[in-house]
């Protein structure tokens, strides 16, 4: 039995997210599993490093699957590129130890979020950024990023109602870069809760416009209450850049 690790890039605009759904064929996992199963003659299941929501994109999603197929990896990749939709690309395939698990063995991820910060929207950026026309105080948002860094309980920055598992995560870095009207936010951490990046982003933007004070971040950590945080920004500005493994 071979264990194959995949690195996948996709445009999530027309999909209902990563996870296979019984009543929809519009998922990334479902599309890849269908082509892999047709290719090998086996009923295969792929395991992703994590789920991405409807409309979210990926430059470096990681998944793995097990197969008895003897097909060469380059031939597998060529087949996948040929038969998958053009908005899903398997960039790399690698044979890994049998015990490798793309989700359980991941020890960090990097996400990007893009904001188009101009009064007039962009025809080209509309599927890959959030149009936010209000002026933003970058200095104040960078101060907020400092407060988000480190180890905290991020339950108040998530869509989880409650969790039996730990909601403590460590954010190693958050950075902001500006190029013309486009703002690029980068988040690097050991893990992220459901919608955590999108809620942190909404909070940063509301701090940047002065709608909520900088100290709100401390209050969210203390209370753990989602309603104290900012809006959940739309998914089209979110990209999973990379998954880290030891």
Residues marked as catalytic: 53
DSSP structure class, residue 90: E
Residues 243/49, Cβ–Cβ less than 8 Å: yes
CB atoms within 10 A of CB 47: 15
CB atoms within 10 A of CB 69: 17
Going by C-alpha positions, the residue among 200, 197, 222 that lies closest to residue 212 is: 200
For 124, the 3-state DSSP assignment is coil
Give dist(CA 60, CA 244) in Å, integer.
10
Helix axes 216-223, 138-148, angle to 10 degrees: 30
DSSP structure class, residue 230: -
Strand partners, 218: none
Q: Positive or negative, the Cα torsion across 21, 107, 207, 116?
A: negative
Beta-carbon contacts of residue 76 (< 8 Å; ≥ 6 apart):
4, 39, 69, 93
Cα distances (angstroms) measured from residue 50 to each of 75, 126, 132, 188:
26, 25, 28, 15
Backbone angles phi, psi at 222, to 5 degrees: -70, -40
């Amino acid at each position: 039995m071979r264990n194959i690790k995949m690195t996948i890039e996709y445009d999530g605009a027309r999909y209902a997210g990563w996870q296979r759904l019984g009543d929809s064929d519009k998922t990334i996992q479902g599309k890849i599993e269908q082509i892999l199963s047709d290719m090998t003659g086996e009923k295969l299941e792929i395991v992703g490093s994590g789920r991405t929501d409807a409309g979210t994109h990926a430059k470096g999603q990681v998944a793995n699957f097990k197969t008895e197929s003897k097909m060469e990896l380059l031939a597998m990749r060529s087949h996948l590129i040929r038969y998958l939709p053009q908005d899903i690309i398997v960039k790399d395939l690698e044979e890994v130890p049998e015990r490798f698990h793309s989700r359980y063995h991941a020890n960090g991820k990097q996400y990007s979020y893009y904001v188009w910060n101009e009064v007039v929207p962009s025809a080209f950026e509309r599927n890959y950024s959030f149009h936010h026309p209000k002026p933003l105080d970058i200095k104040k948002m960078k101060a907020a990023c400092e407060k988000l860094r480190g180890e905290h309980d991020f339950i108040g920055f998530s869509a989880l109602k409650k969790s039996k598992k730990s909601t403590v995560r460590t954010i190693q870095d958050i950075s902001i870069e500006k190029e013309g009207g486009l703002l690029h936010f980068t988040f690097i951490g050991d893990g992220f809760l459901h919608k955590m990046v999108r809620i942190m982003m909404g909070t940063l933007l509301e701090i940047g416009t002065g709608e909520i004070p900088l100290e709100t971040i401390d209050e969210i950590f203390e209370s753990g209450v989602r309603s104290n945080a900012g809006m959940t920004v739309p998914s089209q500005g979110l990209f999973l850049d990379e998954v880290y493994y030891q």
